[in-house]
């Protein structure tokens, strides 16, 4: 009974002061928590960065592809495929020309008793967008470039496969050459797989000799393929000016 006296005294004292002071001075009997502490902690917690924030990637360098059949200059086409059936080239089918396009040329040069020389040239463009999940456009182009080179080196029936870098062409270029026998004739292939920014370019140049004509020299074909690759790299830059 005596222990409750101090508490009773405080209650009576609170009753004797204005209502506003009662609220402020007597609320401390509740739980001893500092006023406003919970709100401050809540505010501090809300300022933390979410752990699942979406990662960002660098934007793709090129937004457009050139018109494939105009990407290789007429001068280069005349030099590589002298008797092309269609000088302006044959465009490949594509459902999205801003991401994928291609064009090809082929022709046969008749040298009479010395036989005939066949040549085929094609160019393909593949553009990659930046994606937070898959990586930047340049990273994706680099990854697919490696896959394309591996696929070329694994061509069924290919003989004498050789791989080498073609320095000074685009951001990176790999040259792959090999021989392949088709329709009882030995074809020589010179292919370049290049990257410029977020665009991958594949140039395929091949040829064969018929009716006694000698098969083409691999190095000469590759030099020509590199020349066409330079045209294609320049065309990508021009299309995005």
**8-state DSSP, 169:** S
pLDDT value of position 183: 85
How many degrees, rounded to 5, is the angle at CA 153 between CA 147 and CA 158? Answer: 150
Check pLDDT > 70 for residue 8.
Answer: no
Question: Based on the number of CB atoms within 10 Å of its own CB, is 191 exposed (0-12), middle (13-18) or buried (19 or more)?
Answer: buried
pLDDT digits (tens, 9 = 90+) for 28-61: 444 444 444 454 444 444 445 455 556 789 999 9
Q: Which of 130, 127, 107 is nearest to 210 (CA)?
A: 107
Check pLDDT > 50 for residue 26.
Answer: no
Kindly tell me the sign of the dihedral angle through the C-alpha atoms of 17, 20, 23, 28.
negative
| Choice among 19-33, 98-112, 142-156 with the minimum mean pLDDT | 19-33
Contact between 134 and 142 (Cβ < 8 Å): no
| pTM greater than the 0.85 cutoff | no
Q: Please list the residues that pair with 123 across neighbouring strands.
A: 103, 203
């Amino acid at each position: 009974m005596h222990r409750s006296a101090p508490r009773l005294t405080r209650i009576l004292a609170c009753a004797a002061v204005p209502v506003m002071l009662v609220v402020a001075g007597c609320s401390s009997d509740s739980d001893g928590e500092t006023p406003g502490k919970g709100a401050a902690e809540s505010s501090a917690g809300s300022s933390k960065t979410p752990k699942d924030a979406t990662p960002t990637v660098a934007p793709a360098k090129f937004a457009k592809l050139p018109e494939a059949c105009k990407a290789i200059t007429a001068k280069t086409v005349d030099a590589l495929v002298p008797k092309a059936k269609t000088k302006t080239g044959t465009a490949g089918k594509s459902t999205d020309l801003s991401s994928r396009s291609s064009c090809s040329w082929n022709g046969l040069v008749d040298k009479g008793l010395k036989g005939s020389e066949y040549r085929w040239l094609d160019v393909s463009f593949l553009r990659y967008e930046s994606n937070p999940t898959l990586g930047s456009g340049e990273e994706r182009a680099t990854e697919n470039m490696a896959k394309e080179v591996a696929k070329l080196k694994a061509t069924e029936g290919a003989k004498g496969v050789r791989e080498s870098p073609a320095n000074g062409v685009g951001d990176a270029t790999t040259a792959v050459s090999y021989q392949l026998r088709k329709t009882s004739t030995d074809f020589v292939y010179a292919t370049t797989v290049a990257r410029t920014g977020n665009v991958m370019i594949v140039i395929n140049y091949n040829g064969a000799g018929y009716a006694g004509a000698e098969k083409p020299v691999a190095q000469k074909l590759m030099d020509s393929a590199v020349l066409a690759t330079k045209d294609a790299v320049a065309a990508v830059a021009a299309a995005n000016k």
